[in-house]
Structure formats: C-alpha cells, structure tokens
Amino acid sequence: MDSELIPGLIGVLGGMGPMATVDFMQKVLQATPSATDQDHIPMVVSSIPQIPDRTAAFRGDGQSPLRAMIASGLRLSRAGAGLIVVPCNTAHLWYSELQSAVGLPMLHLVDAALQDAVARAGEGVTVGLLCTDATLASGLYVNRTQYLASATSVQWALPTAGEMLESVMPGIEAVKSGALDVGRKHLLTAANALFRRGAQVLVLGCTEIPLVLDDSNAPAPVVDATASLARRTVAWSLSQRAVPTV
Amino acid sequence: MDSELIPGLIGVLGGMGPMATVDFMQKVLQATPSATDQDHIPMVVSSIPQIPDRTAAFRGDGQSPLRAMIASGLRLSRAGAGLIVVPCNTAHLWYSELQSAVGLPMLHLVDAALQDAVARAGEGVTVGLLCTDATLASGLYVNRTQYLASATSVQWALPTAGEMLESVMPGIEAVKSGALDVGRKHLLTAANALFRRGAQVLVLGCTEIPLVLDDSNAPAPVVDATASLARRTVAWSLSQRAVPTV
C-alpha cells in the first residue's frame, strides 16, 4: 500500500534485551530536536526477547540467534522500514550476515561510537573500552576500526583480565541488579585504570554502564555507544524527510 | 511465512506521543515476571508521531487521526501481531472505528483502569478521575462504565472546571516541562479535592500524572491507567504461550 509509505521510517531490531530497546528509544527521543510530538521520528520496533542469547552463542553454549534476527529484520522490512538498527552490542557479531539477508541499509553501533570518540578526542586518539567480557573477547570493537574513514586511526586501551573479573563484570552485574552505587564504584575503578594507561576517551560499549558513568564523574570524556547510534539514527531519518509527512 | 509466527505477539500502536509509548513499554517490562530476557513478551511497535494530534481533532481544530491510526494498525497486523493496544488515552475516542478497520482483538485502556479500580476499592466504588481537559470533556472514562461486567457499577468524582484550570492542567504542563515538584503540588491539590468529595480510588488517566502521584503520597489508592493496560497486555501474551517459542 503505497499510501502508507512513511519517509524516514526506522526499523529497530530489538528485544536483545527488551530493556536495552527501551533505553535506545529514549535516547532517540532525547537526540531529536522537537517542539511537538510530530517532530519525532517514526519507528517500527520488533522487540522479540525470545531471540536466542547472543553471549551464549558466542561462547558456543547455545544456538545461533541469526535465524531469529533475520526473521525480525524481514518483519521490519515488510512493515516499511528504510533502515535497520540493532540496539545490542553483541548482536553485531552477526551484522554482515543479517544485512545480507535483510537487504536494507543498516547503521553499525560500533562505527557510530568510534566516530563519536574521534570527534570528541581527535585523530589517533587512545580509546578506553568498557564492555562485557563477550564483547571484548569477540573483538567487536577492535576489529571494527578498519571501517573508519581511511585516514582515521585509533589506539586501544583495554581492561586486563583481572580488571574484567574484579571490576568491569561485577560493576555491570551490580547495575543490572539495581545496586547503582556499587556498580559505579567498580566501573570507576576500571575507568581510572584505563585513564592511567593513556585512555583519552572512554567508550561505554554496554547498556548498563552509562547508567552510572558520565562526563561528570569519569576520568575522561565518555561516549555512550547506544546514544551514538541513536543520534545517527535520528540524523538518517530527518535526512529522508524531504517533504512533510502525515 | 508461517515459520515466523510468534505466539502472543503484541502490536503496540504508538507514537501518541512517542514518550507515552516508551513509558508503556517500560510498564510492560515491569509487569512481566522474568528471570531472563527470554521471559519477556514479544512486541512489535509502530511508533508514528506524525499521526495528527488527537486533542486538536477532538476540539475540531485539526484533521482526524483515524486514517493514520488504521494504517499503523494494519502495519502491526501484517507484522503478525495478535492483539492491538494503544497507549494513548485520547486515541481511544476512535477505538471502535479502529478495531473495525484493523480486525484484530484489542484491549481498551479505560476498561483496564476501571477493572483495576474496582479490584482495589470494590463494587460501587467512587472513582476520582485525573486526566486532561479533552479526556474529561470527551466522556472517554465516564461513558465507558457501561462496558464493565453487568453487575459492576462505579460512581464518579470529577474535577470542577476551576480545579481543571487551576490545578490539573497546570500540573500536567509542569510535569511535561520537567518541573516535577510544581506538578506534584498542583496535582495533589486536585487529588485532595476529589478525596474530600468522596473518591475512594484515583484513576490517573494521563501519562504524566503517575510520574508525580503514587500510593505513597496521594490521599487515596491510585490506579495508573497505562500500568493497568500493560498488566493486561502481559497477561494476554503469556496466555497465548502454550508452547515455548523461539
């Protein structure tokens, strides 16, 4: 039905987990210049929490989420989405296969975060990374630097295994359980270690971490990867609005 | 594609406004008994903020939102939703026409709230209503009592025109602008007036009001209509999960 085509309709492939999807949607609202409801961008969201666990699949302990992610992406495509975004770090391990199968343009969460890190701290910056064990071990962030614009490079400062086990993972778990003060203390410990080893900007590559770390308390400027993706999502949608939509 | 049918898939007809949609999704998460992501219910959300303003249409100052709401509902139907819910009070003025056109089961926000009010305060209860001017004037809540189970009745305690202009609407506007303390003071003034006139339970029929009024500070038990709809949405979805889904 052509009459229902909505310019700039975003497809959010969500449910991984469902709270991260809601968090992303809030950041999209915050990133949108708006005076009225109608200024906000249109989105269709497929929030399917039954998609198999991404971390378990990465570790070889569970089935691949790819088939269910493709089904969700095709659902968004049929609903008229012009762009697919996936507000889940670990799900990006299947980014290329997903994009091939769904056939719509996508924005990559890590690209968005790295572009923001370079914008904040400059070319050749040392980026400190705070994320889950699976995100770190998969190389999701460090392997993606090859997709930055050709003249751009970054250096990485990564947590040690001890810091992951003693600070980062306990910090994320504490935030998940609602113990924000405990989580903040653990994650600041890890952030300070990265800062002492030269990190000039901290990329927060996990949904829970921005709930307790921000520019006001971290030892270096922070980039919330989810917010970076939200800002680029809004920019894409607004760029498609050549004419007012109803 | 039958392989993609997801039992209990909820269709959220949203964007009216987009913040109310996110608020509803959060209340769905809160209402779901869950230990893992996979316990949460699957949802497809069509958040289209470009749907014409409902209050303006009710006042005769703008075009009807019905056509755009139907398009959004059909999008959810094509995506496989088995139930449609609309997290916007005023949009329910077009509930019957929407349901006829989309042809899927729906849950009515006001029915959900009134059922919870009766459950909390009993048969024949006097219900105090706090909502916007348009919701009040449209009779959305008071006209819906005829759909309660036949033996059930409620009495209404409604704000006066002066209370609407001096307390309720300024309170809602203050909350919208982020002035929560000012909003709370105004809305407590209105709640206390309803309580003095016999309200035994307060139905909060506007997304902003539960942000500042709750059981801990209101003069009578409160029912958040959005949370009522969320609980019934979760119950419907879980009832459809006869077998584990992937």
Do residue B79 and residue B176 come from a single domain?
Answer: no
Q: Which among B19, B38, B47 has the least Cβ separation from residue A45? A: B47
- Residue of chain B minimizing CA distance to A63: B246
Separation CA A51–CA A94 (nearest Å): 13
Q: Is the pLDDT assigned to residue A198 strictly greater than 50?
A: yes
Looking at the structure, do residues A79 and A159 belong to the same domain, yes or no? no
| Other Cβ atoms within 10 Å of A122 Cβ, number | 12
Average pLDDT of chain A to the nearest whole number: 93
The DSSP code for A178 is T
Q: State CA A38 to chain mean position distance.
A: 26
**Surface-to-core class of residue A207, CB atoms within 10 Å of its CB (0-12 exposed, 13-18 middle, 19+ buried):** buried
Contact list, B17 vs chain A (CB under 8 Å): 37, 40
Touching B: A residues 61-120, CB under 8 Å: 68, 71, 74-75, 78-80
Helix (H) or strand (E) run with residue A176 in it: helix A169-176
Among candidate residues B116, B127, B85, the one with its CA nearest the CA of residue B102: B85
What is the C-alpha separation between A113 and A36, in angstroms, rounded?
A: 28
**B131 lies in a domain?**
yes
- In this predicted model, what pLDDT tens digit does every residue of B89-110 receive, in sequence order? 999 999 999 999 999 999 999 9
A68 and A21 in a single domain? The answer is: yes
Would A141 be classed as within a structural domain? yes
Same domain, B195 and B142: yes
DSSP letters along A94-136, please? Answer: GHHHHHHHH-S-B--HHHHHHHHHHHHH-TTPEEEEE--HHHH
Domain annotation covers residue A246: no
In this predicted model, what pLDDT tens digit does every residue of A11-51 receive, in sequence order? Answer: 999 999 899 999 999 999 999 998 888 899 999 999 999 99
Residue A129 pLDDT exceeds 90: yes
Beta bridge partners of B222: B202
Total domain count for chain A? Answer: 2
Q: Are residues B126 and B206 in the same domain?
A: yes
DSSP 3-state assignment of A90?
helix
Selected residues 32-51 of chain A with any CB under 8 Å from a CB in chain B: 36-50
Q: What ipTM does the predicted assembly reach?
A: 0.88
Q: Are residues B142 and B237 in the same domain?
A: no
- Compute the distance between CA of residue A113 and CA of residue A19 in angstroms, rounded to an integer: 20
Confidence category of residue A1, pLDDT binned at 50, 70, 90: very low
Do residues A67 and A167 both lie within one domain?
no
Mean pLDDT is highest, among A55-64, A104-113, B117-126, for A104-113
Asked if B81 and B144 sit in the same domain, the reply is no
- How far apart, in whole angstroms, are the C-alpha atoms of residue B230 and residue B236? 10
Find the CATH number of the domain harbouring A120: 3.40.50.1860
Q: Please return the burial class of A186, using the count of CB atoms within 10 Å of its CB with bins 0-12, 13-18 and 19+.
A: buried
Let me know whether B85 and B131 are in one domain: no
The verdict on residue A16 lying in a domain is: yes
- Please tell me whether residues A152 and A67 are part of one structural domain: no
User: Is A41 in Cβ contact with B71 (below 8 Å)?
Assistant: no
* Average pLDDT value over all residues in chain B: 93
Domain holding A34, by residue range, is 3-108+228-241
**Cα nearest neighbour of A44 on chain B:** B46
Q: Where are the alpha helices (DSSP H) in B103-239?
A: 109-121, 133-137, 161-163, 169-176, 180-196, 225-239
Q: Is A68 in Cβ contact with B48 (below 8 Å)?
A: no
Handedness of CA B119, B122, B124, B130 (dihedral sign): negative
Is the Cβ of A2 closer than 8 Å to some Cβ of chain B? Answer: no
| Token pair 């006066």 in the structure block, residue | B160
Q: What is the mean pLDDT of residues B66-75?
A: 97
Respond yes or no: is residue B131 known to be catalytic. Answer: no
Nearest to A80 by CA among A227, A238, A237, A244: A237
Looking at per-residue confidence, does A13 or B178 come out higher? A13
B246 located within any domain = no
Q: Kindly state whether residues A121 and A217 are assigned to the same domain.
A: yes
Instruction: Say what the pLDDT of residue A122 is.
Output: 86
How far is the alpha carbon of A15 from chain B, nearest alpha carbon, in Å?
8
Predicted TM-score of the model (pTM)? 0.91
Alpha helices per DSSP H over B83-132: 95-102, 109-121
Question: How confident is residue B3, by pLDDT bands cut at 50, 70 and 90?
Answer: very low
- Residue B48, domain member (yes or no): yes
Calpha distance A83→A105 (Å, rounded): 5
Q: Closest Cα partner for B172 from B214, B137, B139, B205?
A: B205
DSSP secondary structure code for residue B209 in this structure = G
Which one is predicted more confidently, B102 or B38? B102
Q: Indicate whether B93 belongs to any domain.
A: yes
* Domain shared by B170 and B186, yes or no: yes
B190 lies in a domain? yes
Residues of B in contact with A57 (CB under 8 A): none
What per-residue confidence (pLDDT) applies to A3? Answer: 47
* Neighboring chain B residues of A47 at a CB cutoff of 8 Å: 25, 42-45
Mean pLDDT of B134-162: 88
A131 catalytic per annotation: no
